[in-house]
Amino acid sequence: MSSYRDVESQFAEMQIYLDPAAGGAALAGEAAGCLRAALDVVGCEAEIKTGEIADEDWKFAYRRHFKTERVGRRLLVVPAWELESLADEAREGREVVSLDPGMAFGTGKHETTRACLEYIDELSGKGGSMLDMGCGSGILAIAAAKLGYSPVAAFDIDDAAVAAARENAEANGVRIDCRAFALGRGAMTADSSIEAAKGVYPDLALQGRASCGEPAQFAPADLVVANILGPLLVAFAEEIAGYVAGALVVSGILTETYPEVLAAFARLGFGEISRRNYGEWTTALLSRG
């Protein structure tokens, strides 16, 4: 699946790819019907189309929407396939973060990613260590390393994301300790993460689930960025707080649920320094005391 939303025009597009060898044509018609019915229920209008594409094209569908972006004061996020053609004057003295996200989340276009990048840029004068929770393509950790944070560590529940982040870090010439790990001290799973996305707190869902891997140990960091789901921030607030030696950026939060996230961290001694509301998403900078 590939999804895209232009934050300026509010145009949104989602593409679902099905294997023809597994009855893709019939499944596409069925999926279109179900989607149309679901849209009718919520009163949303959308154009639904089905068709065939070349065998390899789906793997690179995301490239159509990933363009060079200026973010914050000092960052320039550039698709890896456009880097060679990027003129020196186009860099404008900014730190260039070159990415090929593949199937991993994180290009700088989404409101949550952009807000996190802006905070990383804003706080970079203080330097220090950084931990990226839910790293996706590695964009936040790479940007931090480019802006002088050291050491930089990152983790994600998805092995494909970890692989993409490591490749992107190498391509950018930065050192990042990136591992497959999950909140719940290693016990969170992709399935329980999906349940949390639906608003079900994962405490009970964790029981009896296979571990993402052996629990990893990360040193407390001067800046921790947790761009994950709001329900996960609430459920694992205490664990997240244990990694924070300085500032904490929380993101991936629907604005309507932000008070609950803030309350969870307030109980642990954190207060809000500032927040950014982009679209329907809230990203906040928190600190203890």
Final residue before a domain boundary, out of 58, 80, 96? 58
**Residue 86 placed within a domain:** no
In a shared domain, residues 161 and 54: no
**Residue 66 placed within a domain:** no
Which of 69-83, 94-108, 225-239 ranks highest by mean pLDDT?
A: 225-239
- Nearest to 178, CA basis, from 152, 201, 204: 152
Among 106-115, 159-168, 190-199, 224-233, the least confident range: 190-199
In a shared domain, residues 173 and 263: yes
In a shared domain, residues 22 and 114: no
pLDDT at 106 over 90: no
HEC per residue, the chain: CEEEECCCCCCEEEECCCCHHHCHHHHHHHHHHHHHHHHHHHCCCCCCCCCCCCCCHHHHHHHHHCCCEEECCCEEEEEHHHCCCCCHHHHCCCEEEEECCCCCCCCCCCHHHHHHHHHHHHHHHHCCCEEEECCCCCHHHHHHHHCCCCCEEEEECCHHHHHHHHHHHHHCCCCCEEEECCCCCCCCCHHHHHHHHCCCCCCCCCCCCCCCCCCCCCCCEEEEEEECCHHHHHHCHHHHHCCEEEEEEEEEEEHHHHHHHHHHHHCCCEEEEEEEEECCEEEEEEEEC
In a shared domain, residues 34 and 118: no
In a shared domain, residues 132 and 250: yes
Confidence of residue 57 (pLDDT cuts 50, 70, 90): low
Q: Considering only residues 107 and 63, tell me which one the structure prediction assigns the higher pLDDT.
A: 63
**Residue 63 placed within a domain:** no
User: Looking at residues 208-216, what average pLDDT do you find?
Assistant: 43
In a shared domain, residues 125 and 258: yes
**Residue 274 placed within a domain:** yes
Q: CATH code at 183?
A: 3.40.50.150
Q: What is the pLDDT of residue 186?
A: 53
Q: What is the pLDDT of residue 122?
A: 95
In a shared domain, residues 9 and 140: no
In a shared domain, residues 48 and 125: no
Domain that holds residue 197: 109-288
251-284 pLDDT, tens digit per residue, is: 999 999 999 999 999 999 999 999 999 989 999 9
Q: What is the pLDDT of residue 187?
A: 53
Q: Please, what is the average pLDDT of the chain?
A: 79
User: Looking at residues 139-159, what average pLDDT do you find?
Assistant: 94
Confidence of residue 208 (pLDDT cuts 50, 70, 90): very low
pTM for the predicted model, two decimal places: 0.72
**Residue 160 placed within a domain:** yes
Calculate what percentage of the chain has a pLDDT beyond 70: 72
Give 95's contacts (C-beta < 8 A, 6+ positions apart).
74, 75, 76, 143, 146, 147
**Residue 203 placed within a domain:** yes
In a shared domain, residues 133 and 202: yes
In a shared domain, residues 148 and 17: no
150-184 pLDDT, tens digit per residue, is: 999 999 888 888 998 999 999 999 999 999 888 87
In a shared domain, residues 146 and 51: no
Q: What is the pLDDT of residue 226?
A: 96
Q: What is the pLDDT of residue 145?
A: 97
Domain count across the chain: 2
**Residue 102 placed within a domain:** no
18-40 pLDDT, tens digit per residue, is: 766 667 677 878 888 887 887 77
Q: Considering only residues 90 and 159, tell me which one the structure prediction assigns the higher pLDDT.
A: 159
In a shared domain, residues 144 and 271: yes
**Residue 114 placed within a domain:** yes
Final residue before a domain boundary, out of 39, 58, 77? 58
Confidence of residue 137 (pLDDT cuts 50, 70, 90): confident
Each as own residue / partner, the long-range contacts of residues 263-269 (CB below 8 Å, 24 or more positions apart, any chain) are 264/233, 264/234, 264/237, 265/233, 265/237, 265/241, 267/237, 268/237, 268/238, 268/241, 269/241
